[in-house]
Chains A and B, each alone.
Chain A
Amino acid sequence: MRKLLIWLPLALFAGFFILFASGLLKPDDRVITSKQVGKTLPDFTLPPAASDRPALMSRELATGKPRLLNIFASWCVPCAAEAPQLLALKRAGVEIDAIAIRDAREDVDRFLARYGNPYDRIGLDARSSVQIALGSSGVPESFVIDGKGRIAYQHVGDIRADDIPMILQQLEDAR
């Protein structure tokens, strides 16, 4: 017993070493997904964020047909990179609404004039309160909302060109 006990500290050390080494070597996953996926959208009414698009209310997202809800901001670089993909989705017949986070109307107008406007409605979330209620952790993010106003899917980060078929499939599945 005593002889075995002598090895205990070394065994503990080896155990911790393996634990920490595997933690350090494992690629870091910083994506925080929303736990609201599968639930009904929170109730919200947002003022308009752009001059030529109407405001956004949560019940306007439950139209009997899946829609894409894009969370973006004019000050966000990846959002600009995402714009062509959203325009492509729009051309494919997807109806897209947006929430602009902590934004100013002139900035949103300028952003849309520069990168294109795939949105039907844009609500302004000046204090990130709807973003937090959605469980969204940054910009850009996109939510697939089914016809009944339930969150069917969350895409964290910008939609890349090769994500488009997957997003279309998610919209199809939400039908």
Chain B
Amino acid sequence: MKALLTLFALLLTPPLLAQSALPPAPYADRQISDPALERKAKALMETIRCLTCQSQSIADSNASMAGDMRSQIRERIMAGEEPEHIRRWLIERYGDWVSYEPTADPVLWPLWGAPLLLIGLGLLLLRGRIKRKARR
């Protein structure tokens, strides 16, 4: 019974379910011939999260849906669309979740603030040390 359940659980893992019989979309695994456009597309794809393999970017994922998203992104960039426009379009559909690029959302303020805070603390420590050394 336990083995059967394990087998069933394995059958339900998303990557397996994501594979279909169709060949990949035209630009899923083919680069744009213009290297500048391909660079733009690649940079965007590396910051868009795969919906099937949720800890990978669509640039790294072999899931068929990630392939379809790569193809769509390349086609839209070839049509002259700006990467940030495509990112906003995707966020409108899947929420901030889909983008790896941090936003200015209040929940992320500690993330942006932490480096400043740490540098401030470091400077304070440094000043203390210098003062002590000077006294000696």
Q: Is the interface of B mostly helix, strand, loop or mixed?
A: helix
Please name the 7 residue pairs, one residue from A and one from B, whose CB atoms are nearest each other, closest first: A135-B93, A128-B68, A102-B20, A137-B51, A75-B20, A102-B22, A127-B25
Quick one: which of B55-112 are within 8 Å of A by CB? Answer: 64-65, 68-69, 71-72, 90-95, 97-98
> What is the CA–CA distance of A146 and B122 in the complex, to the nearest angstrom?
58
Across-interface contacts of A138 in B (CB, < 8 A): 14, 17-18, 51-52, 65
What are the interface flags for A23-39 relative to B under an 8 Å C-beta threshold, 1 for contact and 0 otherwise? 00000001011111000
Counting contact residues on chain A (CB < 8 A from B), the size range is 20 to 34
Q: Is the interface of A mostly helix, strand, loop or mixed?
A: loop
What are the interface flags for A140-168 relative to B under an 8 Å C-beta threshold, 1 for contact and 0 otherwise? 00000000000000000000000000000
Is there an interface contact between A103 and B20, defined as CB atoms closer than 8 Å? yes
List 4 additional A-B contacts (Cβ < 8 Å) besides A34-B93, A135-B93.
Answer: A102-B20, A128-B65, A132-B69, A138-B51
Is there an interface contact between B72 and A77, defined as CB atoms closer than 8 Å? no
What's the least CB distance linking B116 to chain A, in Å? 17
> What is the CA–CA distance of A16 and B71 in the complex, to the nearest angstrom?
40
Contact of B72 among A32, A104, A132, A137 (CB under 8 A): A132
Asked if A30 meets B54 with Cβ closer than 8 Å, knowing A77-B12, A126-B22, the reply is: yes
Q: How many residues of B contact A (CB 8 A)?
A: 27
Across-interface contacts of A131 in B (CB, < 8 A): 65
Is there an interface contact between B71 and A133, defined as CB atoms closer than 8 Å? no
What's the least CB distance linking A175 to chain B, in Å? 26
Is there an interface contact between B12 and A101, defined as CB atoms closer than 8 Å? no
